[in-house]
Amino acid sequence: MTSPRPFDPQRALELAARTFEIEARALLGLAERQREGFPAAVQAMLECRGRVVVMGMGKSGHVGRKIAATLASTGTPAFFVHPAEASHGDLGMLIAGDVVLAISNSGEVDELAAILPALRRLGVTIIGMTGKPGSTLARHSDHVLSCAVDQEACPLNLAPTASTTAQIALGDALAVALLDARGFREEDFARSHPGGSLGRKLLMHVRDLMRSGDAVPRVDAGASFADVLREMTRKGLGFTALVDADGRPVGIFTDGDLRRLIERGADLRDLTAGDVMHAGPRLIAEDALAVDAAGLMEQHRITSVLAVDAEGRLVGALNSNDLMRAKVI
């Protein structure tokens, strides 16, 4: 290695711009290189009776792990197997009916070439992603995807840069085509991402977060005002629901309503729950999405909603703090 030159910020910016330009050209060139191999590969994955097994060595292996993760999270069961480990026992992870997506820019990497005959004997479908259509990998593949690039972004044209970017983009294109063909929806994505924000919004229901049972503040509509205050204080949610004889909500009284009564100088001694309640409280079904409860609160500028069952009976209460703790909002 020669002595490093003094750092030149302008040269760094120029190299960055050159890298972006080279890799952008590489991506645009991918579309022109895809022929019948791409739809054939997508169809093979759609018809796969097993899993999609992604393989690759070195940088292609790192790309392969990413592609396998993207496929798995968008409706195509997939995992990564290291080619070197495959030849020492991990080939047993594959079964007939699997589809192997083998990635190698040169198509001649020894560890991958060594297991191609064994893959053939297993009865798997091989999709080769390579930059060399005449390579060993291409010759052993049922379908070939071209990830060829005109040049690497590396100034020496050696380090995998544009070629790995092309591989990632081609993997994303496969995943997108597959999820479209499967009719993959937001709800499906959420099921494989339960810990993410989308998963929380699309999988969490009101019943999962609501206060229920004795934790729900409620009194009969004919209760005294003193009973309303005691229930509101005891449950600590800042409101009390008023219910009829069948347990259906008919009104609500909040601590804000109490402050307004006091400010008006109202005589509170002879009031009943029915005198002070707001009729027609905001209700939400217990099986509704929690994000819908958040939308209801935002729409009506309130901080709590009452949850009801299919018969309209009060079964729970939910406030904005519950939604924030669950990271729904």
**CA-wise closest residue to 97 among 76, 126, 75, 71:** 126
pLDDT at 91: 93
Threshold 0.85, pTM exceeds: no
Round to whole Å and give the CA distance between 95 and 103.
19
**CA-wise closest residue to 240 among 249, 252, 250:** 252
Residue 14 has pLDDT above 80, yes or no: yes
Residue 44 has pLDDT above 90, yes or no: yes
Per-residue pLDDT of 250-267, as tens digits, reads 999 998 888 888 888 877
Task: State the pLDDT confidence band at 2, using cuts at 50, 70 and 90.
Answer: low
pLDDT at 144: 96
pLDDT at 76: 94
Per-residue pLDDT of 91-120, as tens digits, reads 999 999 999 999 999 999 999 999 999 999
Residue 196 has pLDDT above 70, yes or no: no
pLDDT at 94: 95
pLDDT at 159: 92
Per-residue pLDDT of 172-184, as tens digits, reads 999 999 999 999 8
pLDDT at 195: 66
Residue 194 has pLDDT above 70, yes or no: no
Q: Residue 219 corresponds to which tokens in the numbers above?
A: 């009194």
